């Protein structure tokens, strides 16, 4: 299992970093692919518990979110609100069409998945679009990867106290603290080096590292809770050694929006 995780990282990390560097269409297409693969895994979870809504509404919903975010710079009106209205109306109509098989609980679960994937992951595009957005996106990914790596290895070796035993019995307090400390130090050192260029002070970099680590771990716990409720081990099998897209990018989903607004608030061009 460990060698598969390492092999996936050797292949996947340079690919993602390259797409971040290219930006524009290439990076947006990567995010679009990411949210649709995540929706495939999410709808598979729902179907495992007997839900019946057509899959295409989930794919269409997350794709509309990403398209609206990409389209926003070219129009004067904010396009996200119309997308939300369109998705709600479409889901309501589907409940009427499939009235004998489904209900509004299923509709609400699909809508949650669309916001969870399309809404949160769309902030990856917004972050990349900011001044020095490439650097901030690299900091986000590097912080999350270090956080996950330290939490996994330190927790496996020295973890004794369970962090959230009813949600994820294998996560430890020791691993969590190692991930937070390592991420905070990494981002602090990186921001200290790049402070003048990116408009953050070293102490704001310290706070940014804490934000990435804490919200990354929160996203991990949310996805673990989801799998616990659906009684599955992994969300998918796409990434060898890691599971599915949701298993690998769950931390990014929660950290990306917070980092985006953090940078918006504090970074001085």
To which H or E segment does residue 43 belong? Answer: helix 24-48
Residue whose token pair is 């050694």: 241
Q: At what angle do helices 245-266 and 133-158 cross, to 10 degrees?
A: 130
Give the model's pLDDT for residue 3.
63
Residue 242 CA to residue 220 CA, distance in Å, equals: 13
Give the model's pLDDT for residue 211.
96
Residue 26 CA to residue 5 CA, distance in Å, equals: 25
pLDDT 10s digits, 203-240: 999 999 999 999 999 999 998 888 888 878 777 777 66
Rounded to the nearest 5 degrees, what angle is found at the Cα of 137, between the Cα atoms of 258 and 268? Answer: 70
Residue 103 CA to residue 107 CA, distance in Å, equals: 7
| Residue 39 main-chain phi, psi, to 5 deg | -65, -35
Give the model's pLDDT for residue 267.
75
In the chain, which residues have pLDDT < 70?
Answer: 1-5, 73-78, 159, 239-242, 268-269
User: Is the pTM of the predicted complex or chain greater than 0.85?
Assistant: yes
Exposed/middle/buried for residue 67 (C-beta within 10 Å: 0-12, 13-18, 19+) = middle
Residue 172 CA to residue 181 CA, distance in Å, equals: 14
Give the model's pLDDT for residue 78.
65
Measuring CA to CA, which residue among 86, 78, 138, 147 is closest to residue 111?
A: 86
Count of structural domains within the chain: 1
**Bridge partners for 243 per DSSP:** 239
Q: What is the residue range of 194's domain?
A: 2-266
DSSP characters over 71-124: HGGG-SS--HHHHHHHHHHHHHHHHHHTTTT--HHHHHHHHHHHIIIIIHHTHH
Give the model's pLDDT for residue 39.
94
């Amino acid at each position: 299992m460990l060698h598969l995780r390492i092999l996936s990282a050797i292949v996947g990390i340079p690919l993602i970093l390259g797409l971040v560097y290219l930006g524009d269409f290439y990076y947006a297409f990567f995010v679009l692919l990411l949210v649709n693969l995540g929706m495939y895994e999410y709808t598979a979870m729902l179907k495992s518990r007997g839900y019946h809504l057509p899959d295409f509404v989930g794919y269409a919903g997350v794709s509309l979110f990403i398209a609206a975010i990409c389209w926003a710079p070219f129009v004067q009106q904010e396009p996200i609100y119309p997308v939300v209205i369109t998705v709600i109306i479409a889901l309501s109509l589907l409940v009427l069409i499939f009235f004998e098989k489904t209900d509004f609980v299923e509709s609400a679960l699909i809508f949650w998945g669309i916001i969870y994937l399309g809404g949160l992951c769309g902030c990856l595009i917004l972050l990349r679009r900011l001044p020095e957005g490439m650097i901030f996106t690299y900091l986000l990914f590097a912080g999350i990867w270090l956080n996950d790596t330290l939490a996994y290895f330190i927790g496996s070796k020295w973890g004794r106290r369970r962090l959230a035993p009813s949600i994820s019995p294998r996560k430890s307090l020791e691993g969590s603290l190692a991930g937070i400390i390592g991420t905070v130090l990494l981002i602090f050192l990186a921001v200290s080096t790049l402070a003048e260029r990116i408009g953050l002070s070293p102490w704001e970099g310290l706070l940014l590292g804490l934000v990435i680590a804490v919200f990354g771990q929160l996203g991990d716990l949310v996805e673990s809770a989801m799998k616990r409720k659906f009684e599955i081990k992994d969300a998918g099998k796409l990434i060898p050694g890691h599971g599915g897209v949701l298993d690998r990018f769950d931390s990014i989903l929660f950290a990306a929006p917070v980092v985006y607004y953090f940078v918006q608030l504090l970074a001085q061009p």
